[in-house]
Amino acid sequence: MQTPTFPTESAALVLDGPAGPLEVAVDPADAEAVPQSAVAVICHPLSTEGGSMHNKVVTMAARALRELGVTTVRFNFRGVGASAGTFDNGEGEQDDLRAVAAWVRAQRPDCALWLAGFSFGAYVSLRASAALQPQALISIAPPVGRRTWDFDGLQPPANWLVVQGDADEVVDAQAVYQWVESLARPPQLVRMPDTSHFFHRKLIDLRGAIQHEVRRWLPDGSC
């Protein structure tokens, strides 16, 4: 498969991933925003429960970043949409993320790499951070305490934001808060009151929380 070039306008494309084709969507910074020298790769929630790059939390996080001038890249993990392969409980999905990040870095070598993820996507992007060394990381409702996903020994960047709803019915919010408090280098934590896992009626608040916290991390200029 021929490697596609990085588009300058919103585009859907296919990358050669470790399990076959990977479905990717690239969106440039909003026209009204000052372009920033950063590209954010955003990971979606659990594939086996309907998660995809079109999830409303994922698309809102992407919108929040584009309004700040950051280009966004969303993609479907293996087995979702047009992406080949089957669900691999976060292991193969890290390989998928690494493939997308490698393409971004090859195509935009002067841009800072940011990672973001919602729920299962937060776990995958956290696990991959040690290898990818992103300049910033956004973790939305990380599934601490769920299934067999291991949140020990992570190596997130210094610029790290965790957003968690207090009324999350899927992830134990208290487990997330206790985990954050246990870390030697805790992230910036935003607790959202009366907020469910999927941020029902709270998506605009989520956008504001992301923008308020990450604005100071923005690099200067465009890439």
Q: What structural domains does the chain harbor? A: 11-147+156-216 (3.40.50.1820)
What does the alpha-carbon distance between residue 53 and residue 40 come to, in Å, rounded to a whole number? 13
Q: What is the pTM of this model?
A: 0.97
% of the chain beyond a pLDDT of 90: 93
What does the alpha-carbon distance between residue 222 and residue 157 come to, in Å, rounded to a whole number? 21
pLDDT at 145: 85
pLDDT at 38: 97
- Helix/strand/coil (H/E/C) assignment for every residue in the chain: CCCCCCCCCCEEEEEEECCEEEEEEEECCCCCCCCCCEEEEEECCCHHHCCCCCCHHHHHHHHHHHCCCCEEEEECCCCCCCCCCCCCCCHHHHHHHHHHHHHHHHHCCCCEEEEEEECHHHHHHHHHHHHHCCCEEEEECCCCCCCCCCCCCCCCCCCEEEEEECCCCCCCHHHHHHHHHHCCCCCEEEEECCCCCCCCCCHHHHHHHHHHHHHHHCCCCCC
pLDDT at 148: 80
pLDDT at 33: 95
pLDDT at 216: 95
The structure tokens 């776990």 sit at 123
| Structure tokens that stand for 213 in this block | 């916290």
| Structure tokens that stand for 208 in this block | 């504001």
What does the alpha-carbon distance between residue 71 and residue 77 come to, in Å, rounded to a whole number? 20
pLDDT for 78-116, tens place per residue? 999 999 999 999 999 999 999 999 999 999 999 999 999
| Structure tokens that stand for 29 in this block | 């910074």
**Residue segments in the chain with a per-residue pLDDT below the cut of 50:** none
pLDDT at 146: 77
Q: Phi-psi bin for 153: left (phi > 0), alpha (psi -120 to 50), beta?
A: left
pLDDT at 222: 72
What does the alpha-carbon distance between residue 209 and residue 14 come to, in Å, rounded to a whole number? 32
pLDDT at 219: 87
